[in-house]
């Protein structure tokens, strides 16, 4: 077991200070022998892997280049080869993560509580990562188990006979214990390369409580990202760590499609850009995640100095590479010499055999369940939203949830699905398992809906339902719920917030503000997830089973189903 697992956060802090102090004389000797010069350090970042051990399929497995062409990308064994090649180019390399490396994973990882993914990350030599929101999907205590090791408290060890845990620290500089205010996760980590200390501050976004089941994180709280980053940047600087990097699981949406992996088409006041431009000038580079976008920007810190702000595409399709030069005398980064690049994880290299062996074992053990046919589709059913915000696959899932809860005590008349819960396309072409074109396997359905949320049917008035639909549009984001068939409305780009939605009808009848409607949602939305607080006002709650079960039952009952039309929501200027 690595030393950091045996130390408290305070002991880690003291150990870091001791390491930095102890390198002082050695550093002076090194300078006398080699002159002042600079040390080349390469940082290799990966974000939002989500346990995608096998190459992702559909649009989730492609990178769109600046000229509009695409490249097949991703797959953990290819990722490992690219990381090794990048390491070989620069001796002093550090592999880091920006969160969501686990959680919302395909069945080959999720069936074993993402233990195979942690084993792969150990194998490629990851040194540290920020926690993302999905690291908390199964709660804080499960995240601690992923770090420390030990068998799952309910399911035991199903992948290997034992689970040793992550060999790298999972950081949460803004995560504290609710009762004491003490750190709930290590706030930072220090790596030494050629005598130069490099500090890594890592954290999830502050909005984790609205993105995961609140029951699993009751004992912890999440603070402001900028304040936490500045606090620990000051501390690292005080103990002699001058080269400092921020790993933050918060990023930006791009302002326009295209541009390729290294374009910088983000808005200045997006959440990630705000953090990147406002955290301490002592921070030399900002690696981001969460938004599943790719961009490579140079922003100015509060002192007016440039620093990289970068994110690579999700599911292991890109690696964000930042090359630093660290001055031997000041031990700080020479900003003018920094270079950043998003590298595509192509599948033209040989897969790493050690990582492939882990993947093959996970596939073998999960195959009986993963390869079970659950339905048949007649065409690709994508999750990509049209301009109105709805998507064919989102509509299909909403239809399945309505079908599962319309009868009996549930009595649902409509269903609404959060788009963030739709994780992958349903593709018509057969997978490598050979089930045949159009056949949907349990593993493919699981990849689409991996969270295992329960369904609930609640009573909302027409006025409350209108409020729900208005909550889709805020100054911070547009987040359109996927509607079941029969619900139609129009929303306006130019109308003020709170008055964007009009013309709501259900099965052709205008919505009555005073009437009651039975609405099916998942447990995440019922708890106010994604900022939909109006759902928490629902009454007469009746449970409706697991969302994935509803989806597979619908596919089985509607063999040959195609992509539903995206005509339920109309967008106007």
Percent of the chain exceeding pLDDT 70 equals 93
Question: What's the pTM value of the predicted model, to 2 decimals?
Answer: 0.84
- The model's confidence at residue 529, banded by pLDDT at 50, 70 and 90, is confident
Backbone angles phi, psi at 249, to 5 degrees: -85, 65
Residue 17: the pLDDT is 40
Q: Do the two domains 3-353 and 371-572 of this chain adopt the same fold?
A: no
Pairing of strands 196-204, 306-311: unpaired
The CATH superfamily assigned to 371-572 is: 5'-Nucleotidase, C-terminal domain (3.90.780.10)
Please tell me the class of the 3-353 domain: alpha beta
Residue closest to 424 by CA, chosen among 209, 206, 110: 110
Percent of the chain exceeding pLDDT 90 equals 86
**CA distances in angstroms from 363 to 109, 164, 315, 569, listed in the order given:** 9, 20, 17, 39
Residue 4 has pLDDT above 50, yes or no: no
Residue 288 has pLDDT above 80, yes or no: yes
325 or 24: which carries more pLDDT confidence? 325
**CA distances in angstroms from 192 to 5, 9, 35, 41, 147, listed in the order given:** 19, 19, 19, 10, 22
Residue 15: the pLDDT is 42
Other beta carbons within 10 Å of 379:
14
Domain locations in the chain as residue ranges: 3-353, 371-572
Residue 24 has pLDDT above 60, yes or no: no
Residue 431: the pLDDT is 85
Residue 513 has pLDDT above 60, yes or no: yes
Residue 238: the pLDDT is 98
């Amino acid at each position: 077991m690595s030393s950091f697992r045996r130390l408290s956060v305070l002991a880690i802090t003291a150990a870091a200070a001791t390491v930095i102090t102890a390198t002082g004389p050695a550093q002076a000797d090194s300078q006398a022998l080699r002159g002042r010069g600079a040390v080349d350090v390469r940082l290799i970042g990966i974000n939002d892997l989500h346990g995608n051990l096998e190459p992702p399929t559909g649009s989730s497995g492609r990178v769109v280049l600046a000229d509009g062409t695409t490249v097949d990308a991703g797959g953990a064994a290819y990722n490992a080869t690219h990381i090794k090649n990048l390491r070989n180019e620069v001796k002093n390399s550090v592999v880091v993560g920006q969160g969501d490396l686990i959680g919302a994973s395909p069945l080959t990882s999720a069936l074993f509580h993402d233990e195979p993914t942690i084993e792969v990350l150990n194998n490629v030599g990851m040194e540290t990562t920020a926690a993302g929101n999905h690291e908390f999907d199964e709660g804080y205590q499960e995240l601690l188990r992923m770090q420390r090791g030990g068998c799952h408290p309910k399911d035991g060890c199903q992948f290997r006979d034992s689970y040793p845990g992550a060999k790298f620290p999972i950081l949460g500089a803004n995560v504290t214990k609710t009762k004491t205010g003490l750190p709930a996760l290590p706030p930072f980590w220090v790596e030494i390369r050629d005598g130069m200390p490099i500090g890594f501050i890592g954290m999830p976004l502050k909005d984790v409580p609205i993105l995961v089941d609140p029951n699993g994180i009751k004992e912890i709280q999440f603070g402001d990202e900028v304040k936490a980053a500045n606090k620990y940047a000051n501390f690292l600087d005080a103990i002699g760590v001058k080269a400092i990097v921020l790993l933050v699981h918060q990023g930006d949406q791009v302002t326009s499609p295209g541009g390729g992996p290294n374009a910088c088409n983000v808005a200045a006041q997006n959440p990630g850009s705000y953090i990147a431009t406002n955290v301490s000038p002592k921070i030399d580079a900002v690696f981001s995640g969460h938004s599943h976008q790719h961009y490579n920007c140079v922003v100015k810190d509060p002192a007016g100095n440039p620093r990289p702000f970068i994110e690579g595409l999700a599911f292991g399709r890109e690696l964000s590479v930042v090359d630093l030069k660290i001055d031997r005398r000041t031990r700080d980064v020479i900003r003018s010499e920094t270079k950043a690049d998003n590298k595509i994880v192509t599948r033209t290299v040989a897969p790493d055999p050690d990582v492939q062996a882990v993947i093959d074992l996970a596939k073998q053990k999960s195959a009986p369940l993963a390869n079970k046919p659950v339905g048949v589709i007649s065409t690709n059913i994508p999750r990509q939203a049209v301009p109105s915000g709805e998507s064919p696959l989102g509509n299909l899932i909403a239809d399945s949830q309505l079908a599962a809860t319309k009868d009996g005590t549930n009595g649902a008349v409509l269903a609404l699905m959060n788009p963030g819960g739709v994780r992958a396309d349903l593709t018509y072409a057969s997978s490598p398992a050979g089930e045949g074109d159009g056949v949907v396997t349990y593993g493919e359905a699981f990849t689409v809906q991996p969270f295992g949320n329960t369904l609930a049917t609640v009573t909302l008035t027409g006025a409350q339902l209108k409020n729900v639909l208005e909550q889709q549009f805020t100054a911070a984001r547009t987040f359109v719920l996927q509607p079941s068939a029969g619900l139609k409305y129009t929303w306006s780009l130019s109308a003020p917030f709170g008055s964007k939605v009009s013309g709501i009808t259900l099965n052709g009848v205008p919505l009555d503000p005073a009437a009651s409607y039975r609405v099916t949602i998942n447990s995440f939305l019922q708890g106010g997830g994604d900022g939909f607080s109006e759902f928490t006002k629902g009454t007469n709650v009746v449970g409706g089973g697991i969302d994935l079960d509803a989806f597979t039952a619908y596919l089985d009952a509607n063999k040959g189903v195609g992509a539903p039309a995206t005509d339920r929501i109309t967008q106007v200027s």
